[in-house]
């Protein structure tokens, strides 16, 4: 058993600037805390403390604390955004669309690892959410940037026009089809959550130790075509969750969950790695200094293969183009799943048709992985604001990488 004490210090800022129903609001939360983790033959003890100058742990880890405090504190200057945000909303209003905008800054400075050899890391991203509403319908667009400057430098008018056009197109929505059908998930969409739920959670180290998922029970077995490789890692750069070391100070590594169709490796933190008899692959994450590190996902991506959306659609006579999925439930042991289709369009003879009403997308993980017919070369990242929950640690930032993907035989049921 490893017995070296480890500590975790963090300074975390979350700042929201929102324009909702014409009202501009700004909210900033800033918190710093520290945790000391001690392993013994009885188990693990984590003692945490919210840090203020002069608190006990701040004295114990004085130099690390000073370094975190000295880091420049980024902020959202409402003056830099107000005119643009109000301009977008006014432009939407002229077309009968209400546009809400949220800009969220997330900045985290942390220090983790052995007490005598801590590792420092800096994480920051800025997210933009555009939500257009008209006549009971809504459309969402989420974009992620590496810094406030990068957001300010971007021409966002095309994204605003796209979300307005989409909500107007949704006014002619038709009833969702019913029954088994071919489903296409577009590149870089929120539908990337499909692999997060069906490959990521079932291969988290604690789940694998308990042999408690349909993939944990099939390690080494072929479950998907050879061109399907699913990875998880935090080294994908802008537009994705990105960091160099995990929340235990271990170097972050990319892990193959599905390797050329074969169930490959679990995601591990230090503790689950020790139980599995392997080195940690840098997936120990916590939602705050108050929590113990759990094996969690970061950026879960389906590796690109061949072709683009047009080519992948070309073979579909009738199907559904699903661009927005929300998880409803996944039975980890059996692999049975149910997602809510929040946004989808009909496919007829390889062409996109009308938007459809809400529906459920249901199936089984094994059959879905085995039913993958095509994976495009056009991979793109999606980093949503919702985050991932596990046990009582919710809202952990995660992102997805998805090329255009075609799966046959998934069941669609109108809700």
Q: Using CB under 8 A, which residues numbered 334 to 393 contact other proteins? A: 334, 338, 386, 388-389, 391-392
Residue with structure tokens 């800033």? 30
Residue 329 makes contact with other proteins by CB under 8 A: yes
CB of 405 to other proteins, least distance (A): 21
Q: Which is nearer to other proteins, 60 or 373 (CB)?
A: 60
Residues in region 292-321 near other proteins by CB under 8 A: 292
Phi, psi dihedral angles at 168 (to 5 degrees): -70, -35
One residue of 114, 225, 327, 409 binding other proteins per CB under 8 A: 327
**Which CB, 316 or 322, lies closer to other proteins?**
322
Q: Which is nearer to other proteins, 124 or 386 (CB)?
A: 386
User: Which of 324, 387, 388 is closest to 127 using CA atoms?
Assistant: 387
Interaction mask 97-136, other proteins, x per CB under 8 A: ----------------------------------------
Give backbone dihedrals phi and psi of 189, rounded to 5 degrees, phi first: -95, 170
- Which helix (H) or strand (E) segment is 302 a member of? strand 299-302
User: Does residue number 179 form part of the binding site for other proteins (CB under 8 A)?
Assistant: no
Cβ atoms of 1 and 273 closer than 8 Å: no
If one asks whether residue 48 binds other proteins (CB under 8 A), the answer comes out as yes
**Count of C-beta atoms within a 10 Å radius of residue 289:** 26
If you count DSSP H runs as helices and E runs as strands, how many of each does the chain have, helices first?
10, 23
Q: Contacting other proteins (CB under 8 A), which of 143, 219, 333, 354?
A: 333
DSSP state of 219: T
For tokens 């990242």, the residue is 381
Q: How far is CA 89 from CA 24, 47, 331, in A?
A: 11, 47, 42
Contact mark string toward other proteins, 257..296, x via CB under 8 A: --------------x------------------xxx----
Q: Which stretch binds other proteins (CB under 8 A): 122-130, 230-238, 314-322, 327-335?
A: 327-335
Of 107 and 316, the one with the shorter C-beta distance to other proteins is 107
Distances (CA, A) of 273 to 220, 224, 254, 396: 18, 26, 15, 21
Q: Please provide the size of the chain in residues.
A: 415
Regarding 142 and contact with other proteins (CB under 8 A), the answer is no
**Based on CB atoms, which residue is closest to other proteins, 59 or 331?**
331
Q: Can you read off the two tokens belonging to residue 26?
A: 């700004």
B/e letters for 29-60, b = 16+ CB within 10 Å, e = fewer, are eeebbbbbbebeeeeeebebbebeeeeebbee
CB of 277 to other proteins, least distance (A): 15
List 43, 158, 220, 277, residue binding other proteins (CB under 8 A)? 43
Least gap, CB of 91 to other proteins (angstroms): 26
Q: Minimal CA–CA distance to 386: which of 344, 322, 324?
A: 324
Block residue for tokens 């992948």: 312
Nearer residue to other proteins within complex by CB, 33 or 401 = 33
Query: In the set 2, 4, 5, 47, which binds other proteins (CB under 8 A)?
Result: 47
Give me the helix-helix angle, 78-93 and 157-169, nearest 10°.
30
The rounded distance, in Å, linking the Cα atoms of 302 and 320 is 20
| Nearest CB to other proteins, comparing residues 149 and 334 | 334
Q: Which is nearer to other proteins, 25 or 59 (CB)?
A: 25
Question: 267 and 293 in contact (C-beta within 8 Å)?
Answer: no
For residue 52, the minimal CB distance to other proteins (Å) is 5
- List residues near other proteins by CB under 8 A: 25, 29, 31, 33, 35, 42-50, 52-54, 197, 201, 210, 212, 271, 290-292, 326-334, 338, 386, 388-389, 391-392
């Amino acid at each position: 058993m490893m017995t070296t004490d480890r500590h975790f210090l963090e300074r975390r800022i979350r700042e929201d600037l929102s324009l909702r129903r014409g009202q501009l609001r700004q909210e900033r939360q800033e918190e710093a805390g520290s945790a000391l983790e001690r392993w013994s033959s009885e188990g693990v003890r984590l003692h945490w403390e919210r840090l203020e100058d002069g608190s006990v742990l701040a004295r114990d880890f004085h130099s690390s604390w000073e370094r975190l405090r000295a880091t420049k504190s980024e902020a959202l200057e409402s003056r830099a955004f107000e005119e643009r945000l109000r301009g977008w909303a006014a432009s939407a209003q002229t077309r009968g669309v209400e546009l809400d905008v949220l800009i969220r800054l997330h900045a985290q400075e942390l220090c983790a690892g052995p007490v005598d050899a801590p590792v420092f890391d800096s994480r920051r991203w800025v997210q933009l959410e555009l939500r257009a509403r008209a006549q009971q319908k809504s459309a969402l667009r989420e974009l992620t940037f590496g810094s406030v400057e990068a957001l300010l430098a971007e021409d966002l008018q095309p994204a605003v026009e796209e979300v307005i056009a989409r909500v107007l197109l949704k006014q002619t929505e038709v009833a969702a089809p019913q029954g088994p059908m071919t489903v296409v998930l577009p590149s870089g969409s929120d539908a990337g959550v499909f692999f997060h739920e069906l490959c990521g959670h079932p291969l988290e180290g604690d789940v694998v130790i308990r042999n408690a998922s349909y993939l944990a029970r099939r390690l080494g077995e072929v479950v998907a075509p050879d061109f399907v490789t699913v990875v998880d890692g935090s080294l994908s750069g802008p537009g994705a969750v990105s960091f160099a070391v995990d929340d235990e100070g271990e170097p972050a590594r990319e892990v193959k969950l599905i390797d050329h169709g074969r169930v490959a490796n679990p995601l591990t933190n230090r503790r689950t790695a020790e139980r599995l008899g392997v080195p940690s692959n840098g997936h120990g994450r916590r939602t705050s200094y108050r929590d113990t590190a759990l094996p969690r996902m970061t950026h879960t991506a389906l590796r690109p293969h061949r072709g683009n959306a047009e080519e992948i659609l070309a073979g579909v006579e009738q199907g559904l183009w699903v661009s927005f999925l929300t998880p409803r439930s996944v039975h980890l042991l059996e692999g049975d799943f149910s997602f809510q289709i929040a946004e989808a369009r009909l496919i007829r003879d390889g062409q996109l048709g009308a938007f459809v009403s809400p529906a459920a997308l249901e199936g089984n993980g094994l059959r879905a992985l085995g039913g993958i017919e095509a994976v495009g070369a056009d991979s793109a990242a999606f980093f949503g604001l919702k985050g991932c929950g596990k046990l009582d640690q919710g809202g952990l930032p995660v992102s997805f990488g998805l090329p255009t993907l075609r799966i046959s035989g998934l069941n669609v049921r109108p809700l």
